[in-house]
Amino acid sequence: MAGGVESQWSIRVFERFERSVVRLNHGGVFLGTGFVVYWDEPGACLIITCHHVVSRVRMNQILDAYFSGNTIPSAVSIVHRGNDIKDLALLRVQRMSSQVTRPPVVMDFFQHPVAPGWDVVLLGYNVLRNNFILEPSTWSGRIM
């Protein structure tokens, strides 16, 4: 994508999905990013992340999930995790933060084959110097 088209696309992705992205912490340490893949009105919420993000957390331990803009974490447990090859883990919110007042947009999996040269947008939390973490942000790139 050239010029302003790329930045407009990143802005649209951010605006639509920002509330669906969670920052995962354990013991006060940032682990990585997760994404809401299921939400139902009574409060059931499932989050997907990468196996490598939670690989050092025991199955019975609780993680903190910070939804965008929230300073009070939601309590999250690991439901299932893959392995180094199947790098996915499924998490369930055990206690939703009182700051989460609107349901996030549930993210879908892309069902079509991907091809080199496709433009993509990465949305997530990133660590800057000294472990300072900002709100979620986007980066655009191309599949190689």
pLDDT at 133: 58
- Please give the Cα distance from 120 to 142 (Å, whole number): 6
Question: Which residues constitute the domain of residue 58?
Answer: 4-142
The closest alpha carbon to 61, from 80, 78, 79, 36, belongs to: 78
Burial of 36 (0-12, 13-18, 19+ CB in 10 A): buried
Work out the average pLDDT over 31-58.
90
CATH number at residue 104: 2.40.10.10
Radius of gyration of the chain (CA): 16
Q: Is the pLDDT of residue 68 over 90?
A: no
Total domain count, the chain: 1
Average pLDDT, integer, range 46-62: 94
For residue 86, what are its two tokens?
């199947």
